[in-house]
Amino acid sequence: MKKLTKSAEILFDYARSIPVIDTHEHIPATENDYISTPISFGELFIPYIVNDLYSSGMDFDTKGNMRAVPFYLIKDDWDALEPYWNNVKHGSYARPLLIALKKYYDVDDLTRDNYKDVLTRINENNKPGIIKRVMQDDCNIVKSINCRNEVSKYENGFVLSNISSPSLVCNSKAGIDIMLEYCGRDKIKNIDELIELGNVWMEKKAAEGAIEFKGRANPVGKPDKDKAEAELQRVLNGENLIEWDTQNLTAYIFEDNIHKAAELDRPVAVHTGVWHDFRNLDVVDTLNIIERNPQTRFDIYHLGIPNTRTAVQIIKNFPNAYMNLCWAHIVAPEMLIQTMKEAIDMVPMNKIFAFGADYVRVIEKVYGHLQIAKENVSIILGDRVDQGQMDIDTAEEIMLKWFYKNPVEFYRIS
């Protein structure tokens, strides 16, 4: 844990007691899906440690695409892993895992001597009730919002669903086939039929319980139907395209998805920044869609890292844009802390959501990520107290808003 000022220590202690809305995960859609297969050694490192291993030089066949690093190629071969693990274990991606290993398995590090035992113990813990034990009991998470193509089903409605919008599904033949099967259709021939299919997809998902739909930033300023149609025909012909090849298609479909979300009274999450070619996900490219669609609530993910000040400026200027710090706490914690110190001057306090861990399995890492988020927010608000710009009671009130009250209101959580 970082060394905290007295004010930050008081706030961190307060943070232990408050309820939390976890705004972003990718866990399997049911607990049975989560526990039905053993956790592999490689799953310890997803997401996102595996990307740091790749950056460090570990050999993966990704054709230069960091997003495509296959974790299953990480075998329990300590000789192959060790030099790269030693390069990345001090980074912020590894820290949630190390916090979790300490809390749940009383080890300080993965080593040659303990890694097999640690994996065995993780799998012994991989049994019914793990979601409740870790996320509800240990983290005091009240609701967790899960991003998948299918609506999640967990006991007592603990897991709510953020469903991929058609714009994220339609850029491959396989994705369109998933939409066709779900909507009970045989085929589509053109962009108009894809729009209709997408509307059915969103209506059915909302009726099942989806509380939000997800898209991504896109450098296409004004969607062009003819260009979108041409890209769709390539997809329908089965071409294996990359994101840059389907920019017009996804932008055109996303524009309609945004309108449909407003009709359904659902917010739209927008992935921004980070990842492999972050030029393709620049938060500045959300400005067009936010301005064109004032009736839609936008959930701007990941603080736009690395363009955090741009994200703050956008969220300041548009009442329908909200700031979600999911994942950002471990992408660039010091960048986040500095940005949020500035953001308090600029962004209304009702527009910030403090936490989303963004994990798949080894859910113990949610605990580790949440500790980092609480630490970061304590530092941010504690600095405000130390500067004499607010008192502890006010800082605690804001912390509760960021972690709980704001997302409850935004997502219409009862």
Write out pLDDT tens, residues 193-230.
999 999 999 999 999 999 999 999 999 988 999 999 99
Q: Residue 66 has what pLDDT?
A: 61
Question: Does residue 380 lie within any of the structural domains?
Answer: yes
pLDDT tens for each residue of 118-150: 999 999 999 999 999 999 999 999 999 999 999
Quick check: bond before 294 cis, omega within 30?
Answer: no
Structure confidence by residue, pLDDT tens digits, 155-188: 899 999 999 999 999 999 999 999 999 999 999 9
Torsion region of 304: left, alpha or beta (phi above 0 gives left; psi -120 to 50 gives alpha): left
Would you place residue 58 in the very low, low, confident or very high pLDDT band (cuts 50, 70, 90)?
confident
Is residue 320 located within the same domain as residue 189?
yes
pLDDT value at position 304? 95
Written as six digits, the tokens of 309 are: 């000040």
Residue range 307-320, pLDDT digits in tens:
999 999 999 999 99
CATH number where 331 lies: 3.20.20.140
CA 83, 27, 141 angle in degrees (round to 5)? Answer: 105
- Tell me: do 179 and 99 sit in the same domain: no
Tokens of 355: 């936490």
CA atoms in the 13 A half-sphere facing the CB of 414: 3
The helix/strand/coil state of 95 is helix
Q: Are residues 138 and 64 in the same domain?
A: no
What pLDDT score does 64 carry? Answer: 59
pLDDT digits (tens, 9 = 90+) for 391-410: 999 999 999 999 999 999 99
274 lies in the same domain as 377: yes
- Give the number of domains in the chain: 2
Which of 92, 107, 125 finishes a domain? 125
Last residue of some domain: 125, 143, 159? 125
Distance (Å, whole) CA 269 – CA 24: 10
Tell whether 209 and 310 lie within a shared domain.
Answer: yes
30, pLDDT greater than 80: yes
Same structural domain, 240 and 93: no
Q: Is 339 among the domain residues?
A: yes
User: Does residue 1 sit within a domain?
Assistant: no
Residue 316 falls inside a structural domain: yes
Do 241 and 107 reside in the same domain of the chain?
no
* Cα–Cα nearest to 284, from 348, 354, 221, 334: 221
Which band of pLDDT confidence, cut at 50, 70 and 90, is reported for residue 345?
very high
Residue 339 near residue 5 (C-beta atoms within 8 A): no
DSSP state of 40: P
Give the domain range for residue 115: 39-125
Per the CB < 8 A criterion, the answer to whether 15 and 377 are in contact is yes
**What's at 52, amino acid-wise?**
D
Instruction: Based on the fold, state whether residues 53 and 165 are members of the same structural domain.
Output: no
Token pair for 105: 């398995």
Evaluate whether 193 touches 241 at the Cβ level (below 8 Å).
no
Q: What is the DSSP string of 138-190?
A: IT-EEEEEEEESS----GGG-EEEEEEPHHHHTTSHHHHHHHHHHHT-----S
Given 125, 152, 174, which residue is the final one in a domain?
125
Decide the pairing of beta strands 141-148 and 159-164: parallel
pTM score above 0.85 = yes
